[in-house]
A and B are shown apart, each in its own frame.
Chain A
């Protein structure tokens, strides 16, 4: 058997993601990269640097801010954007709420599912024909059949029965005006691959990904971060009557809207400890940390159909 040189799994995943990013740049006229400052999107900007440096990114970055983001993550997001010298667009759910296009059932309703509205408004405002996102197929079973270039109609809807076949590495990112492509360069990555890549590339992450002591409330078995102070000074996740605040050693496996992402108990305070923890965990990333996916077996599929990522 010949000993032909082949790429290691991380090199292969990296090469595939770079290829996808360049296809977006080559095929789409006005793409945007969704960037939250979370670990998956930090991997993607690293990949974009490898894909396009010494040039500028051929797309701006955009964050859909629910207004309930950790200030550590927002601060990190802004610092990283500044270091890269790229352009960041921020659109906020609260603006959509003011416009009346998002109506919360009650003030504490989780905002994650409403992100679709603000995202679609921003797509229309800027005329984006493609949004690059950090979704992975291993995250959730509705994503296992997701294309790398996923087609959305004028209403931003994902129709699982009407997706373009995707063969070889010949991606079809064509769209008519008003339609939209969602491109997922790290589709084939698992949570483990992401952490191994972060370790290999020595990527810096927001501090809350690492083990830290935090005030939490234990509510129905979930760990709820307590009294979180937002960037605007507002405090959310206050304890309800009779609830007790306890100090726990935790970290976030996934970082999103504060009201619907829970931390996990962990002593892992370095990337390499997290890699080991990820290799030995017994709960999926979403199962452990996403309070909004647990409501129904098909909840992710339903949200995706409405234009969610």
Chain B
């Protein structure tokens, strides 16, 4: 165990959410197991559990990948069928890993994991190079807008730690990344490693002295945690309106607090704001968290906003800066990933949930679907689970939107089937 992992985490740290893309064969579970193990997140009783299981299954060494296969149903089948969330911390950062299975039929799980990640580790088997699944993972990471990509060429021990093999894989990947517009749009870093031996994960070890870049943990520690580094427009969907007028405290009779989370941008006391969809204008009078007063609230902070004027506002409205408005629309064009085993039925009415707002929605057209392996566009009339397609919807209620590429919070929506209440689709507004 290296020194930087032994620090006791006692202070407030930054937080990075990342995902891992790869199948069991790529050593993904071993990679996560090792990060947890080397960061002391695995405690002795858990280790005893998995070493017993390893023995039961006739293995000679402790299989770190067992740390990440959770449910009995999955253990029986020996596969991972759902996104699992794991946690570890170093002296300076807390990490949340979204661990998604990488097989083709699990596109929906990858999209789910990617939706909250700010960094993706794409695993490539050094013996196999860039495969169809590498392309699929990269396309999906790009589609869902993950800003930072680490391409980890794993199993370097099985190619004698060959720099030539590594260089060739990096070059192959870059030419493909240019093809799909990933290069340039996203921050891409490469590293060689062996998750099994631990080369270049937490410790560098001696096998790849030719590699001068950062180890995986160093890359994770340095990655920016914000989803967008550029300034974004202020977007504040109202989740709940607080009106304690019946309170015994007379001062609160006129209190009207708009409760929500700063989804993007920031807001300060005195800012000129507009409340959508009605378009009322006012100024921010106060920003509070409980009884604490703030001057400014940054992105992702949950606060209560008080406005100068008495404005009739309810859940689902959006407070924005008057200088930078989103579009208010009743028709949207989006890339949709279908999540449900029940295919999309173009004749039906669905519910679209966008920020804190819901609207009934009808399908206008499915323009094409994307083959996630070849990235070819195909004509289609239906959408099945794991399909990705460009779809136009018309809406009963207006939504206040930005394109997904400019704003993840106001560009994303989910599709709900009203009969089952299931979440059946995930959309990214074009």
Tell me if chain B binds chain A: yes
Hey, which bits of chain A sit against chain B, CB under 8 A?
A: 1-2, 4-16, 18-19, 22-23, 25-26, 49-56, 58, 137-138, 141-142, 144-145, 151, 160-161, 163-170, 172, 174-176, 179, 187-188, 190, 192-193, 196, 200, 275-276, 279-284, 287-288, 297-298, 301-302
Q: List 18 A-B contacts (CB under 8 A).
A: A10-B12, A11-B12, A22-B260, A25-B240, A54-B249, A54-B252, A144-B70, A167-B111, A167-B426, A169-B409, A275-B10, A276-B8, A279-B9, A281-B43, A283-B44, A287-B43, A288-B45, A302-B72
Task: State which of B43, B49, B229, B315 has its C-beta within 8 Å of the C-beta of A297.
Answer: B49
Kindly name the residue among A14, A176, A282, A288 whose own CB sees the greatest number of chain B CB atoms within 10 A. A282
Q: Are A145 and B45 in contact (CB under 8 A)?
A: no
B residues near A9, Cβ cutoff 8 Å = 12-15, 93-94
What's the tally of chain B residues with a CB closer than 8 Å to chain A? Answer: 79
> Nearest chain A CB to B241's CB is how many angstroms away?
9
Kindly name the residue among B46, B94, B109, B112 whose own CB sees the greatest number of chain A CB atoms within 10 A. B94
CA A176 to CA B226, docked complex, whole Å: 37
* Minimum CB distance partner of A285 in chain B: B43
A residues near B225, Cβ cutoff 8 Å = 6
Task: State which of A15, A52, A176, A280 has its C-beta within 8 Å of the C-beta of B300.
Answer: A15
CA A26 to CA B300, docked complex, whole Å: 19
Q: Are A168 and B408 in contact (CB under 8 A)?
A: yes
Task: State which of B9, B13, B83, B115 has its C-beta within 8 Å of the C-beta of A168.
Answer: B115
Q: Are A7 and B298 in contact (CB under 8 A)?
A: yes
CA A10 to CA B73, docked complex, whole Å: 34
B5 at the interface (CB under 8 A from A): no
Number of residue pairs across A and B with beta carbons under 8 Å?
A: 201
CA A172 to CA B351, docked complex, whole Å: 11
Q: Are A14 and B302 in contact (CB under 8 A)?
A: yes
> Nearest chain A CB to B326's CB is how many angstroms away?
16
A residues near B421, Cβ cutoff 8 Å = 151, 172, 174-176, 179
Kindly name the residue among A25, A167, A169, A188 whose own CB sees the greatest number of chain B CB atoms within 10 A. A167
Task: State which of A7, A168, A169, A280 has its C-beta within 8 Å of the C-beta of B15.
Answer: A7
* Minimum CB distance partner of B261 in chain A: A19
Task: State which of B116, B230, B243, B301 has its C-beta within 8 Å of the C-beta of A55.
Answer: B243
With A145-B70, A188-B85, A284-B46 as contacts: A172 and B8 at CB distance below 8 Å: no
Task: State which of A1, A55, A176 has its C-beta within 8 Å of the C-beta of B224.
Answer: A1
* Minimum CB distance partner of A53 in chain B: B290
- Mark B379-408 against chain A: 1 for CB-CB distance below 8 A, else 0: 000000000000000000000000000001
